[in-house]
Structure 1
């Protein structure tokens, strides 16, 4: 027989109790939930401590740390290797580029010499004794040992605020502003060994293609200089059979595992003769150094070597970044090829020579072994044309000045009188033009931070008789260098 709950008295009595229990539980749940929500959304009690959120906002609004100061000339210390026997004729090269009370550096000589005007030169230092080091190269000079140690001796001076040590010879002419522009591209807190090699294959083979040739100058970052100082004396002892100071530095670099970073503006100039072809087709890079200037011909005709370099300062003092930078353009009305090596020379050639050819140095020079062999150079060259109609008309810099109101540089170039054979071409004869006038604006200070590109030039129409007028500047959108046949 089934039981019926409705007839069970105990079941009927439990219903009110169950309802009361459920009601109390629900009330407690609502109370606790309300309390939790109030705690979650109510503001925190007052506190002496700062609000973390406000602290975070304050930190975000605080000014960022200042960027490090860009590398400048005061961050560079020069170490110049010199010999007392050659000082009288080479000191003028140093005086050309040294800036008293601004540039920092030392001249290291083999014995003490007298300076009548010491304020115009780096501080004179007699190199430390190197007699304890071995030197077994038969045809060399032990002076290579003391010059190798220039970097170590400077590090041991404990100089402050140094980012770069720069080495060179007493016949090396530096262009300090351009040196700064090159070094600014690199992090001085890293290990860098910056320079370039020789122009002659045999020199590179005898020494190394990945070695910075010392006469052309090279730069060593401060951390790398510290590392060299710690190991250089032992390194020197391991390479007694090497010839010079620069290949000893290179041997130590190899032990440290630091490769050469090549910059084409450092010029060793292991050549003889006339630098005209090399300078008029300078790489698209700032001109940093010139070496062997007491061996090659003066870079301007009818002048001494020193006078020629002083003439170059006319343009370097105005816009050193643009000096020797080549621009190529064409005058279709006259059938001319024009090449402007700004601040140095302008060439006018009858007919059309392609940009590919014009940017190759013409061989006005011989290699270090005084042979005219195209295959002996470590770059492409072209012969200096002997065709009666292709001989260039050359105009050398005579003056340059900047108009402060218009911010335009005007440079003038005067015709270099040299015999020209008779030409039967119909192209207009440049001989009747005695002067070339070039207008340009100062170089953009960020030019060398960007991808390298030649400037463009344009031959302008003018009513000036016997004068060719040219505009040089950044290439416009869509502009290219092409002859108009």
Structure 2
């Protein structure tokens, strides 16, 4: 990590994903989360035969407001197209005329099509890395079992993988040699093997990237203080941000997360604690996510641990504490008002609902930040 601060613009990152025309209709909400920014620079790669049979997919993307360029690949196997993404992205920014009029791409980012990028947090994270260095950036899975099964030496694709410009160039130059890893199971593992064994560059791990491989109720992790969150993966496939009783529609959930993140920006998921010693209670606000009332005093040590609300396997780099049995939680519903003064004043509604047939209980929160 470089001690000096590097400043990058959004157009200096080129994002790339590969998918198919059927799957993208179920993952479109994830793409809309991060591609709706002006100056976003992105590429979607389809299997050539799949695309030929569904050429209306271009109109579909335009209708959904996805501004990414579309490209096809003759590579049929998804995992092998994943390995090819950095090569295709590099070629795009060197051959397409529009890129001659932009700032030079300094970072190449790939991820699964159901990964959510928190783009402004990514830009802040990249301030600590110099793209002129050969940097392979990302993180491993959050789940110990996944690490035991697949290893901890490569960046997991659900959390996102970044190449600095100098590494991308090196990767392209050694592309043919990297094809010896094509028989591996996953595309992200192919990339890792190529970079580490062929290019001799080790993974630079950053805790802000999250491939969420746990199953069940991950509210404990979401409330644990995810400062600088860059990515989330496996929403609704393995876990969901809010309980079913509060919200169970993926598009509405992602829309709500987007409102919270774009409103609070770098303060999203920042925590505030208020202790009432008279009633022996702790009130924990996770900005843009939840308000939890604990019927006891939370210690500083406990706040550094993750409440284990899910079943079974531990997280890799954090220690857990038992799930709370005596607390009440309200979840972020909507923003009422934001005053763009200094300091900024937010007014928002958090709601709770224990059962489907219950009435909502609402909590209005006002915070001056």
Q: Does 1:331 align with 2:331?
A: no
The structure with the largest alpha-carbon Rg is 1
- Show the counterpart of 1:292: 234
* In structure 2, C-alpha distance between the alignment counterparts of 1:123 and 1:249, rounded to whole Å: 23
Distance 2:38 2:285 in 1: 35
Residue among 201, 205, 217 paired with 1:262: 205
- Higher RCO structure, 1 or 2 (CA under 8 Å, sep 6+): 2
Q: 1:378 to 1:96 in 2, by over 3 A?
A: same
Cα distance, 1:103–1:167 mapped onto 2, change above 3 Å: same
Paired residue for 2:358?
A: none
- Find the aligned partners of 1:167 and 1:90 in 2 and give their Cα distance: 15
Aligned partner of 1:94 among 14, 22, 31? 31
Gaps of 5+ in 2: 356-360
Distance across 2 between alignment mates of 1:373 and 1:167: 27
Mean alpha-carbon deviation: is it higher for 204-213 or for 180-189? 204-213
Deviation by residue 1:385-406 (Cα, 9 ceiling, x = unmatched): 33xxxx2210111233321245
Aligned counterparts of 1:70 and 1:200: Cα–Cα separation in 2 = 32
Map residues 360-439 of structure 1 onto 2, 5 A cutoff. Answer: 360-366=305-311, 372-374=312-314, 377-386=316-325, 391-400=326-335, 401-418=337-354, 434-439=362-367
Counterparts in 2 of 1:273-292, with a 5 A limit?
273-283=216-226, 285-292=227-234
Q: Does 1:346 align with 2:283?
A: no
Q: Does 1:147 align with 2:82?
A: yes
Residue 272 (structure 2) pairs with residue 272 (structure 1): no
Is 1:317 the equivalent of 2:256? no
Cα gap change, 1:360 to 1:252, in 2 (>3 Å):
same
**CA root-mean-square deviation:** 2.4
Q: Residue 468 of structure 1 aligns with which residue?
A: none
68-77 or 394-403, larger mean C-alpha shift: 68-77
Q: Output one character per residue of 1:213-248: Cα deviation in whole Å (capped at 9) or x when no partner.
A: 0011121100000001111331221x2442111111
Structure 1 residue 268, shift from structure 2 partner: 0.5
Measured after TM superposition, the shift of residue 281 of structure 1 is 0.6
Following superposition, the deviation at residue 81 of structure 1 comes to: 2.1
Output the TM-score relative to the length of structure 1: 0.65
Contact map agreement 1:346 1:413 (CA 8 A) in 2? no
User: After superposition, where does 1:56-205 map in structure 2 within 5 Å?
Assistant: 70-99=7-36, 102-110=39-47, 111-112=50-51, 113=54, 114-119=57-62, 120-121=65-66, 122-129=68-75, 142-157=77-92, 158=94, 159-160=99-100, 161-205=104-148
1:165-221 per-position Cα deviation (integer Å, ceiling 9, x unaligned):
011111011111111111122111111111111111121122221321001112110
| 1:441-460 pair list within 5 angstroms | 441=369
Q: Name the SS of the counterpart of 1:77 in structure 2.
A: strand
1:206 correspondence with 2:149: yes
Residue of structure 1 equivalent to 2:194: 252
In the alignment, the residues of structure 1 paired with residue 341 and residue 221 of structure 2 have an alpha-carbon distance, to the nearest angstrom, of: 35
Q: Which has the higher strand share?
A: 2
| Change in 2 beyond 3 A, CA 1:210/1:436 | farther
